Each structure stands twice: as C-alpha cells, then as structure tokens.
C-alpha cells in the first residue's frame, strides 16, 4: 500500500481519493524547479578572485641581496603586480556592485561569469611574464589582450543579466550607458598595437583605464541609493 496519500504533478500536489492536502508535505518539484539564487555565484567568484590575488603575491621573488640595487632590479615585477592588483580590485568591486542590483541568475549567466573568471585567472601569468622581461613588447601586448578579453567578458556578463531581468528593469537602467566599457575596450585594443611600437604608450593606456574605473560605477551607487530611499519611505508610510 502506498503510504503517501498524494500524487504529484509538475506543479502541485494532487490528493488521492479526494483526501485533503496536508501543508506538511513538500513537493519535490518545488526544490528541483526553484529559481537559481545568486549567493553561491557571488561566493564562488569572491573565492576565485582571492586565490588569483594570492597567486600573484606568492610569485613575487625576495631580493637575493639586502641592498637598494637588488630591490631596484625587481621594480618591473613589482610595478606589474601593482597594476594587476588594481585591475583585479576594480573587477571585484564592480562585480560586487553588479550583484547588488541583480536579483536572479540562470545557466547563461553562470557560464558568462565563468568566462570572466577564466580570463581573470590568466592575469598572474601575464603579470609575471611582463615583469620578468622588463616590459618587453610581446608580454605587454599579451597583457593587454588578457585585459581586453576580461573587459569583453564582463560586458557579456552584464548583457546577459540585462536580458534575464528584462528591458526597463533596474539593472537595464543602470547599465544602459556603455560609454566607459567602450572606451576601455578601445584603449586596450590601441595599447596592444602600440606595444610593438613603444610599450610606454601601452602602459600609459592601461593606467588610464585603471584610473577611470577606480571609483565604483556611480550608476550603481545612484540606483542603490534610490532603492534604499524608496524602501525607507515605504516603511515610514
């Protein structure tokens, strides 16, 4: 004899023999088909970025001699580390702000986020190569390529979130202006070409992009401020 007096459809419990529905029973499909939450994605992304930062600092070599000359020889490596640390900090900061206004995820967004993390995971490699070879042309160009692909991956992730949340949603309103993204990708592309002419120009462009992104996206700050103000007004009312 079947101990459970209910059978399940894809959406709800249907009582057998017209028995009343018990509120204590849980529909298994409600768990399987539940909307994806964003908490696990945020935690995973934070962990990956933290590991990338740790790898970079562990690759810094200790000077063999205890004098200023030995320390100065590591200047290219240390400067490369500083630049990459700033870039990764910018990505973590903006990624955090992005998920403050996002409310849901789907499979497409999970893959888009992994795509972003893949390119960010290559930052320690190109950082070390560029620093070890005193900003040689090819390492500097490849560094720019990784930055370009990371920026493009972030753009794909943002577009996927807009598509999921719908037109005229909060996230669509916030990300509608794509000027900074386009300027950054254009600067990276130009820096890659200039690396084979003079790497100083490329490094200047990388620094310029880092500078314009140092301050968290004001579009997100304003949107979050408006949402919080609306909640306070609603609670007072």
Q: What is the pLDDT along the chain (237 residues), one digit of tens a residue?
A: 455 544 444 444 444 455 444 445 544 444 444 456 788 899 999 999 999 999 999 988 888 888 888 888 888 999 999 999 999 999 999 898 888 888 888 889 999 999 999 999 999 999 999 999 999 999 999 999 999 999 999 999 999 998 888 887 888 877 877 888 999 999 999 999 999 999 999 999 999 999 999 876 666 667 666 555 444 434 444
- Predicted confidence at residue 66, as pLDDT, reads 83
Q: Report the C-alpha gap between 171 and 151 in whole angstroms.
A: 18
- Predicted confidence at residue 97, as pLDDT, reads 84
Residue 135's region, left for phi above 0, alpha for psi from -120 to 50, else beta, is left
What CA dihedral angle connects 218, 222, 228 and 230, to 10 degrees? -170
- Predicted confidence at residue 69, as pLDDT, reads 83
Task: At 113, list the tokens.
Answer: 């986020």
- Predicted confidence at residue 36, as pLDDT, reads 63
| Cβ neighbours for 137, distance < 8 A, ≥ 6 positions apart | 195, 196, 199
Could you tell me where the DSSP H helices lie in the chain?
A: 28-32, 39-58, 68-72, 75-101, 107-121, 123-132, 137-165, 170-174, 179-194, 199-213, 218-236
Contact (Cβ atoms closer than 8 angstroms) between residue 217 and residue 94 = yes
Q: Report the C-alpha gap between 140 and 80 in whole angstroms.
A: 10
Tell me how far apart the terminal alpha carbons of the chain are, to the nearest angstrom.
56
Q: What three-state secondary structure class fits 213? A: helix
Q: Report the C-alpha gap between 167 and 189 in whole angstroms.
A: 30
Contact (Cβ atoms closer than 8 angstroms) between residue 133 and residue 139 = yes
- Predicted confidence at residue 198, as pLDDT, reads 95
Q: Report the C-alpha gap between 75 and 1 in whole angstroms.
A: 78
């Amino acid at each position: 004899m079947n101990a459970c007096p209910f059978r399940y459809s894809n959406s709800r419990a249907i009582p057998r023999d017209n028995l009343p529905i018990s509120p204590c029973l849980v529909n298994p499909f409600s768990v399987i088909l539940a909307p994806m939450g964003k908490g696990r994605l945020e935690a995973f992304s934070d962990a990956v970025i933290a590991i990338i930062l740790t790898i970079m600092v562990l690759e810094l070599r200790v000077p063999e001699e205890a004098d200023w000359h030995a320390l100065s020889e590591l200047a290219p490596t240390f400067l490369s580390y500083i630049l990459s640390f700033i870039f990764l900090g910018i990505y973590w900061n903006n990624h955090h702000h992005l998920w403050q206004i996002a409310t849901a995820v789907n499979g497409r967004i999970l893959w888009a986020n992994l795509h972003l993390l893949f390119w960010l995971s290559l930052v320690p490699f190109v950082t070390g190569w560029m620093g070890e070879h005193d900003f040689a042309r090819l390492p500097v160009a490849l560094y720019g390529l990784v930055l370009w692909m990371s920026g493009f991956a972030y753009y794909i992730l943002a577009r996927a979130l807009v598509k999921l949340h719908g037109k005229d949603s909060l996230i669509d309103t916030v990300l509608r202006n794509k000027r900074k993204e386009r300027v950054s990708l254009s600067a990276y592309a130009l820096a890659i070409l200039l690396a084979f002419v003079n790497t100083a120009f490329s490094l200047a462009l990388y620094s310029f992009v880092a500078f314009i992104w140092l301050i968290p996206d004001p579009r997100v700050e304003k949107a979050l401020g408006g949402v919080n103000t609306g909640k306070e007004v609603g609670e007072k009312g």
